[in-house]
Amino acid sequence: MKSILKWLLIIGGIFFVFVIAAMIIIPKFVDIKKYKPVIEEKVAEATGRSFSLGDDIDLSIFPWVGIKLTNVKLGNPKGFGRNQMISVEKFEVRLKVLPLLSRQIEVKTFALTGPQIYLEKLKDGTANWEGFGQEKGPDVTKEKSVPESENMAGTQGLPITDLKVDNFSITNGKLIYIDQATGVKKEISDLNLNLADISLDRPINIKFNAKLDNNPISLIGTAGPIGKEPGKGTMNLDFELSALEQLNVKIKGYVIDPSVLQNMDIQIDMAPFSPRKLFAALDQDFPVKTQDPKALDNMSFKVRIKGNLENISLLDGALALDDSKLKFSATAKELTKPNLKFDLQLDRIDLDRYLPEPGAKEKAIKTEGSKKKTDPEKKIDYAPLRKLVLDGKIQVGQMKVSGAGVEDIRVHILAKNGVITIDPMDLKLYKGSVNSKVVLNVQQNSPKTKVTLDAKGIQAGPLLKDAMNKDLIEGTLVSILDISIVGDTPGMIKKTLTGKGELRFNDGAIIGIDLAGSVRNIKSKFGVGEKSAEKPRTDFAELKIPFTAKNGLVTIDGTGLASPLLRVLVDGKVNLPKELLNLRVEPKFVATLKGQGDSKQRSGLMLPVLITGNFGSPKIRPDLKGLIGGGLDTESLKNKILGSGGDSKTTIETQKEDIKKVLQGFLPGFGD
């Protein structure tokens, strides 16, 4: 027995020595270049492209299995801009032999020098990376059954027990992409990648740098470990990305089971940069044309991302945009619905800075208008909103929009089962406040909207001056609104508008019209009083506009204005669907110049006016029947306007013409 074992050991030793000798001697005596044409032919046949190896081919087997190639080229199909799709100046790989017996891979060197990849898409959409190789016949390997145990074994991890790579490098690489159809050309040059200390149980050191269209990009850091079962276990990340001399982003944290993203905790910190300069570095036009050319010139961002695909959170978020600072947090779960919760706190923002230029806005409106003429209205799909579960809070300290300043905005949005509620939606506006609530129900195909609003103490003059740059009206605005609509198109909204409301201005003035001055001027023409040189304005104690609406038919009943020499009542209806007016205005000249603080009923001369027709071209004319019914005569007209002591020689026609001028000032278009 001992002699048999002895001979087996001797034979085994001789075989081992023979194998080692063969691995050393064969590369010395076998001319590998002899097989170069065969290799090139087989690769060309497999890829359908020309393939060539350089003359410098080196093969070694012991103690390192290695191969060194130079000037490797894979060609392009006909019709493309370059002869080669891929070329490599030098390729070298060396690994140890003996560890392979125990399924261990030890790589000394894996190096690519001067690789160039040329990707091109022609105008007809054909790309040079498509159509590799020939069509294959049926896969006969499928007929061979594989034991289930082998399949399971293959999914449990790598077919190796250990991996060590001393040096993995790509040096001086280049990637060119050209799209002939769009004229896009991108080039990555001076590409260098170095991975050091690669193993299964330690983080990998990564160092990458390149130039994108001559703009530098770099990435340094660590990632890993890979583990014996890639995609499982904990992978730590610690990166710093720098790009285009503008961006600097730090990413640090970990991912558990990255193949299925069981959990993660990652901190992202983006240093301040200029989005405008970033696009300039990319040689791209900035996509947004803002009124303020300095807007979107400074931005920074940081956030912590924690959770998994089923429940993810954004924590300690902070966004700085120019002069604005936003703090935010959010959670998302049941992403198929989704179920969202967020909290946004913005200190201040001037939205006017970010709005498009006036010319661009007008152009967009014209384009949209021409589009509406040709394209039918598309129905909105509310199915996603029916699934949405939302709980969001928004707070804004100061905001400027369309010139108007708003403060202390508070919004709370809730959504569930197709009902979206915004309550409260509060803000402070020009020494006043607005409290409102909006409910949107999209459970049916036609949404139902209900709006309630309570505004009080708002200074209308400064508001309109800032928002419209016009002096139209002064006074303290109080408003109550309770309306509902059905539908999401202008036509449906007009047809279904239902509710009631009231606008009331107290102790104010209508700017640009001076009714009292007009009457004084009439008096001066009669030789009584002096013509006023003050800026035109009509003071009033109260301007009240109540309304009720049902299915788009708005009733204006009880609208009134109390001003010096004049009381005005307006009644009638406005048909929103048909855009028709049917109003009766009853101005009453009274024997007093009191307006503010005078709410007594006054007797006077009635001069009714009818406003009819459509919104675009309303007709304004005196109500002759009302004039007659009001008892029009020369003496009463003169006495109502002048009081006692008037010039009795003035004719009624002259007085009527002067009154007409008064009404033309108050009602533009009267008598035209």
Which of the listed residues 143, 170, 199 is the one where a domain comes to its end? 199
Is residue 521 within 8 Å of 657, Cβ to Cβ? no
Establish if 499 belongs to a structural domain.
yes
**CA-to-CA dists, residue 600 to 298, 506, 588, 666, angstroms:** 60, 15, 13, 22
* Token pair recorded at residue 506: 């107290």
Establish if 478 belongs to a structural domain.
no
DSSP, collapsed to helix, strand or coil, labels residue 100 as helix
Is residue 314 within 8 Å of 331, Cβ to Cβ? yes
CA dihedral for 393, 399, 403, 405, sign (positive or negative): positive
Establish if 639 belongs to a structural domain.
yes
* Token pair recorded at residue 616: 């675009």
Q: What is the pLDDT of residue 201?
A: 81
Cis bond leading into 203, ω under 30°?
no
Of 540, 533, 608, 603, nearest to 572 by C-alpha is 608
Residues in the chain: 672
Is residue 568 within 8 Å of 585, Cβ to Cβ? yes
Encode burial over 189-215: b for 16+ CB neighbours within 10 A, e otherwise.
Answer: eebebbbeebebeebbebebebbbeee
Establish if 377 belongs to a structural domain.
no
Q: Could you give the CA distance from residue 23 to residue 194 in angstroms, rounded to a whole number?
A: 31
Give me the residue label for tokens 């009638």. Answer: 572
**CA-to-CA dists, residue 593 to 83, 538, 563, 564, angstroms:** 94, 11, 8, 4
Q: Could you give the CA distance from residue 9 to residue 3 in angstroms, rounded to a whole number?
A: 10
For residue 319, the surrounding DSSP H or E stretch is strand 311-321
Establish if 54 belongs to a structural domain.
yes
Establish if 293 belongs to a structural domain.
no
Alpha-helix runs per DSSP H in 228-357: 275-281
Q: Could you give the CA distance from residue 620 to residue 584 in angstroms, rounded to a whole number?
A: 10
Establish if 414 belongs to a structural domain.
no
Q: What is the pLDDT of residues 307-361, one digit of tens each?
A: 988 889 999 999 999 999 999 999 998 877 889 999 999 999 999 898 887 655 5
DSSP, collapsed to helix, strand or coil, labels residue 47 as helix
Q: What is the pLDDT of residue 471?
A: 76
Provide the 10 A C-beta neighbour count for residue 551. Answer: 12
Is residue 177 within 8 Å of 197, Cβ to Cβ? no
Number of domains in the chain: 2
Residues of the chain with pLDDT under 50: 1, 4-5, 7-8, 11-23, 25, 29, 135-146, 148-155, 365, 371-372, 374, 519-532, 593-599, 602, 631-634, 637-638, 640-672
Q: Could you give the CA distance from residue 306 to residue 332 in angstroms, rounded to a whole number?
A: 11
Q: How many CA atoms lie within 13 A of 422 on its CB side?
A: 16
Is residue 47 within 8 Å of 75, Cβ to Cβ? no
Which of the listed residues 151, 184, 199 is the one where a domain comes to its end? 199
**CA-to-CA dists, residue 558 to 498, 548, 571, 574, 619, angstroms:** 18, 11, 6, 14, 22
Q: Could you give the CA distance from residue 344 to residue 200 in angstroms, rounded to a whole number?
A: 42
* Residue 40: domain span: 24-128+159-199
Establish if 64 belongs to a structural domain.
yes
- What does residue 435 show for φ and ψ, rounded to 5 degrees? -120, 125
Is residue 328 within 8 Å of 312, Cβ to Cβ? no
Q: What is the pLDDT of residue 541?
A: 82
Which of the listed residues 199, 223, 257 is the one where a domain comes to its end? 199
Q: What is the pLDDT of residue 628?
A: 53
Residue 571 forms beta bridges with which residues? 557, 584
CA dihedral for 40, 41, 44, 46, sign (positive or negative): negative
* CB-based contacts of 38, cutoff 8 Å, min separation 6: none
- Global pTM? 0.71
